């Protein structure tokens, strides 16, 4: 294994145990072979090119290492949310097409063009701002037109898209590479809204044909749509959470063989016997009814592990599920092994992942915490080192 920390930590070479980062027992282990498998599986399932979404630190998996690995695996394109993410990838040597999907401010247009980033244009006003920046630089901008088919977030309403499309096609300083929208309910295979949004999107796209313009790349399918709605796959798909092996919603169906990419692990740092009636952690919200054995794990909400898992979450120790007890602290939490449980300092603790045939999924953690898997993954912050295994982990550089 070659441990690589996330963005705010120095690079750790394999076997360099003198470095304080390498000695932290808590880490997110990223399986690059699983990532490769998921890319292949999703591409085969969809049958069209794949834009892998790597925004939000690649859903907590590490922006630059994940992007470099996907580039090496031949992914067709990358998607990010913000200018800064795209610039970080360019500086790290990512040469793939990168679409910045978030709404942009006028002053950002020049930087987007200068770094060869593809731009989401979501209104006539934004189009004019991008045109002005491109003309000032003497360099054409590559754009994707954003059509709002029901999210009411950014984009021109589908029923007003005609003049917007005509203006973009006629632009001297913009090349229309793509046109896209975002699905609001595709995580749920029973929702009728996806069919409605697809119909609105295709009607808007038909305007290119009506004016005799070439049809740009149409992309609509997010993770849920890739899994559940093949008619939305069109010319390219945009899997986000699915490429990391996590289902987007409890209603989602596992129609593709996906493998979880991240495991979250730590180690036992302390063991004690807690007498019956003695409360554990802040607020004294939990106390054992009988003498019990409790271990402390050096991770907490300061790392992004949800405090809402207090006295309801579970971890794996020695292949057995054990409950988190008392309130999760900023840097530590406690686990009840029971009156007969056994563990030693430095024993592995699995918060997400496999141990001795038992599995705690990210989806399970999210459901217990009362949130969605996305929030669990992206909430794991840069205090947790990322450790890359499999693939070409030794060639991956930290961002």
- The DSSP 8-state label assigned to residue 50 in this structure reads B
**162 confidence band (pLDDT: 50, 70, 90):** very high
Flag whether 272 is in a domain. Answer: yes
Confidence (pLDDT) at 393: 52
Count of CB atoms within 10 A of residue 321's CB? 12
**pLDDT-based confidence at 180, cuts 50/70/90?**
very high
Question: What single-letter DSSP state applies at residue 318?
Answer: T
Q: Which pLDDT score is estimated for 319?
A: 96
Residue 36 resides in a domain:
yes
| Average of per-residue pLDDT values in the chain | 93
- Report pLDDT digits (tens) over 102-129: 998 889 999 999 999 999 999 999 999 9
Q: Are residues 269 and 240 in the same domain?
A: no
| Same domain? 72 vs 167 | yes
Q: Tell whether 231 and 287 lie within a shared domain.
A: no
List alpha helices for 310-372, DSSP H.
362-369
How many CB atoms are closer than 10 A to CB 360?
A: 21
At residue 397, does pLDDT exceed 90? no
66 DSSP β-pair partners = none
Q: Give CA–CA dist 149/304, Å, rounded.
A: 34
The mean pLDDT of 139-158, rounded to a whole number, is 98
**What is the per-residue DSSP string for 150-209?**
S--SSSEEGGGHHHHHHHHHH-SSEEEEEEE---SSTTSTT-THHHHHHHHHHHHHHHHH
Sorting pLDDT into bands at 50, 70 and 90, what band is 13? very low
Please report, to the nearest 10 degrees, the dihedral formed by the alpha carbons of residues 70, 74, 75, 80 taken in order: 50
Asked whether residue 192 falls in the same domain as residue 50, the answer is yes
Rounded (10°) CA dihedral 51, 52, 54, 60: 160
Q: Identify the domain boundary among 185, 218, 244.
A: 244
Alpha carbons 231 and 220: distance in angstroms, whole number: 10
Residue 336 lies in a domain: yes
User: pLDDT band at residue 11, thresholds of 50, 70 and 90?
Assistant: very low
pLDDT tens digit sequence for 123-141 = 999 999 999 999 999 999 9
State whether 212 and 71 are in the same domain. yes
Pairing mode, if any, of strands 386-389 and 27-31?
parallel
CATH number of the domain encompassing residue 202: 3.20.20.10
* Residue of 222, 229, 258, 225 lying closest to 39 (CA atoms): 258
- Give the pLDDT mean for 158-183: 98
pLDDT for residue 23: 80
pLDDT > 90: percent of the chain: 91
Q: Is the predicted pLDDT of residue 4 greater than 90, yes or no?
A: no
Q: Do 166 and 297 belong to one domain?
A: no
Contact at 8 Å (CB) between 186 and 141? no
What integer pLDDT is reported at residue 204 of this predicted model? 98
pLDDT digits (tens, 9 = 90+) for 258-274: 999 999 999 999 999 99
* Same domain? 55 vs 182: yes
Q: What is the mean pLDDT of residues 212-239?
A: 98
Q: How many domains does the chain have?
A: 2
Domain assignment present for residue 389? The answer is: no
Residue 257, in any domain of the structure: no
Residues 142 and 210 in one domain: yes
For the question of residue 282 being annotated catalytic, the response is yes
Query: What does DSSP say about strands 314-317 and 348-355: parallel, antiparallel, or unpaired?
Result: antiparallel
Give the integer Cα–Cα distance in Å for 153 and 157. Answer: 10
Q: What is the pLDDT of residue 22?
A: 62
CATH code assigned at 327: 2.40.37.10
Q: Quick one: pLDDT at residue 315? A: 98
Same domain assignment for residues 182 and 270: no
377 lies in a domain? no
Residue 57: burial class (beta carbons within 10 Å; 0-12, 13-18, 19+): buried
Catalytic, 374? Answer no
> What's the rounded mean pLDDT across residues 348-366?
98
SS3 of residue 5 by DSSP = coil
The answer to whether residue 18 scores a pLDDT higher than 90 is no
- pLDDT of res. 106: 86
Last residue of a domain, one of 244, 273, 301: 244
Beta bridge partners of 316: 321, 350
Domain containing 321: what range? 262-360
9, 55, 59, 301: the active-site residue: 55
pLDDT score at 178: 98
CA distance linking residue 252 with residue 254, whole number of Å: 7
Q: Which of 98, 106, 102, 43 is closest to 68 using CA atoms?
A: 98
What confidence score (pLDDT) does residue 5 get? Answer: 35
Are 239 and 39 within 8 A, CB to CB? no
209 and 350 fall within a common domain: no
Average pLDDT score over residue span 304-332: 98
Answer whether residue 213 shows pLDDT above 90.
yes
Q: Is residue 45 part of a domain?
A: yes
Whether residue 300 sits in one domain with residue 210: no
Q: Is the pLDDT of residue 344 over 50?
A: yes
Catalytic-labelled residue, pool 159, 270, 282, 344:
282
* Mean pLDDT to the nearest integer, 369-393: 93
- Looking at the fold, whether 232 and 317 belong to one and the same domain comes out as no
Is residue 371 one of the residues assigned to a domain? no
């Amino acid at each position: 294994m070659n441990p690589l920390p996330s963005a705010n930590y120095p690079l750790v070479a394999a076997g360099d145990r003198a470095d304080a980062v390498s000695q932290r027992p808590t880490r997110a282990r990223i399986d690059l072979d699983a990532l490769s498998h998921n890319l292949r599986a999703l591409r085969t399932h969809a049958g069209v090119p794949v834009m892998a979404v790597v925004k939000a630190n690649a859903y907590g998996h590490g922006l630059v290492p994940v992007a470099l690995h996907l580039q090496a695996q031949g992914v067709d394109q990358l998607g990010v949310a913000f200018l800064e993410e795209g610039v970080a990838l360019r500086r790290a040597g990512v040469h793939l097409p990168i679409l910045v999907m978030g709404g942009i401010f006028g002053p950002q247009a020049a930087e987007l063009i200068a770094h060869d980033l593809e731009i989401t244009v979501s209104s006539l006003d934004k189009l004019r701002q991008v045109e002005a920046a491109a003309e000032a630089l003497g360099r054409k901008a590559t754009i994707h037109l954003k059509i709002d088919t029901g999210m009411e977030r950014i984009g021109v309403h589908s029923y007003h898209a005609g003049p917007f499309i005509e203006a973009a096609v006629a632009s001297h300083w913009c090349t229309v590479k793509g046109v896209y929208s975002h699905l609001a309910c595709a995580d749920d295979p029973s929702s009728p809204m996806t069919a409605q949004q697809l119909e609105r999107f295709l009607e808007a796209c038909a305007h290119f044909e009506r004016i005799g313009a070439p049809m740009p790349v149409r992309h609509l399918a997010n993770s849920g749509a890739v899994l559940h709605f093949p008619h939305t796959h069109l010319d390219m798909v945009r899997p986000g959470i699915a490429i990391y092996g996590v289902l987007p919603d409890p209603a989602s169906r596992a129609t593709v063989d996906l493998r979880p990419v991240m495991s979250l692990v730590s180690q036992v740092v302390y063991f004690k016997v807690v007498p019956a009636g003695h409360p554990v952690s802040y607020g004294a919200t939990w106390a054992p009814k009988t003498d019990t054995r409790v271990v402390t794990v050096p991770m907490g909400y300061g790392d992004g592990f949800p405090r809402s898992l207090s006295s309801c979450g579970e971890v794996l120790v020695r292949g057995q599920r054990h409950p988190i007890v008392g309130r999760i602290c900023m840097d530590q939490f406690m686990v009840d092994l029971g009156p007969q449980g056994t563990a030693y300092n430095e024993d592995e603790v699995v918060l997400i992942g496999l141990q001795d045939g038992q599995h705690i999924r990210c989806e399970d953690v999210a459901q217990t915490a009362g949130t969605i898997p996305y929030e669990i993954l992206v909430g794991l912050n840069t205090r947790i080192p990322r450790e890359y295994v499999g693939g070409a982990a030794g060639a991956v550089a930290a961002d």
